[in-house]
Amino acid sequence: MKPFSESCVQNREPIFNIIQPLFENSKNLLEIGSGTGQHAVYFAKEMPHLSWQTSDLEENHEGINQWLNEAQLSNIKPPVSLAACDQLAWTSLDGPGKYDAIFSANAVHIMGKEDVQCLIKNIGTVIAQNGLFVLYGPFNYDGKFTSESNARFDIWLKDRNPESGIRDFEWLDELANQAGMTFQQDYKMPANNRILVWRK
Ligand SMILES: C[S@@+](CC[C@H](N)C(=O)[O-])C[C@H]1O[C@@H](n2cnc3c(N)ncnc32)[C@H](O)[C@@H]1O
């Protein structure tokens, strides 16, 4: 059965309203952790100037492909297998500096801290000069949750996997700096989420 995420349906429009102007002049986008593939289908349809490369762990490819096959959009590419710390997979991507846009939603609180470190370091190697790295999800500031519901969500995440957890903006920014990216903007989003933007 085709996977379905209700939260994608709820958050896709507010996310689109922010990323559409950000990606206006972008061409090649890499999405990390495409999940069901719903975001890719929605955003790529609304932004036909983008070539949208989906990616995820192998286990999600079948579902993503079902969404892609149904949508029949010429500007989405089938998922590549891309785990955060899989060096070989990152070096097999289309070459350093290929992507002028990198997008990831709701992934850095799922993967472990070590994976987040790999992820941002690897993004630094495939992102083009002036390219944008756009991260959607819940984040903490100065080690503090921005809401009660995010604090509860963090407990729920850690019950599922002790490695998971809502990440600190300051830590992500430090990793992005080390990867050659500079913080640009923090957008407040519905349901205590944010969109964080860095530029290479
Ligand atoms: C909560 S889902 C979010 C999916 C989708 N982006 C969304 O917003 O609905 C988290 C995604 O991160 C991916 N993921 C988890 N650990 C990962 C890792 N180490 N490397 C790459 N992707 C990972 C999962 O496979 C999953 O697709």
For residues 162-182, average pLDDT: 98
Percent of the chain with pLDDT over 90: 97
Q: Whose CA is nearest to atom 24 of ligand 1?
A: 33
For residues 153-180, average pLDDT: 98
Asked whether 134 lines ligand 1 (CB < 6 A), one says no
Residues counted in the chain: 200
> Given ligand 1 and candidates 8, 60, 111, 157, which is best to mutate, with the most ligand atoms within 8 Å of its CB?
111
Residue 162 DSSP one-character state = T
**pLDDT score of 95 more than 80:** no
For 114-146, how does the pLDDT look when each residue is reduced to its tens digit (9 = 90+)? Answer: 999 999 999 999 999 999 999 999 999 999 999
37 belongs to a structural domain: yes
For 59-74, how does the pLDDT look when each residue is reduced to its tens digit (9 = 90+)? Answer: 999 999 999 999 999 9
C-alpha 30/C-alpha 99 separation (Å) is: 6
Band of pLDDT at residue 91, cut at 50, 70 and 90: very high
1 belongs to a structural domain: no
Domain that holds residue 136: 6-199
101 belongs to a structural domain: yes
How far, in Å, is the centroid of ligand 1 from the Cα of 37?
Answer: 11
| Closest to 34 in 3D by CA, of 9, 72, 65 | 65
Q: Which helix (H) or strand (E) holds 31?
A: strand 28-32
3-class SS of residue 193: strand
194 belongs to a structural domain: yes
For 4-55, how does the pLDDT look when each residue is reduced to its tens digit (9 = 90+)? Answer: 999 999 999 999 999 999 999 999 999 999 999 999 999 999 999 999 999 9
C-alpha 6/C-alpha 135 separation (Å) is: 19
Asked whether 57 lines ligand 1 (CB < 6 A), one says yes
Asked whether 105 lines ligand 1 (CB < 6 A), one says yes
Which CATH number goes with the domain that contains 51? 3.40.50.150
33 belongs to a structural domain: yes
79 belongs to a structural domain: yes
124 belongs to a structural domain: yes
3-class SS of residue 194: strand
25 belongs to a structural domain: yes
Count of structural domains within the chain: 1
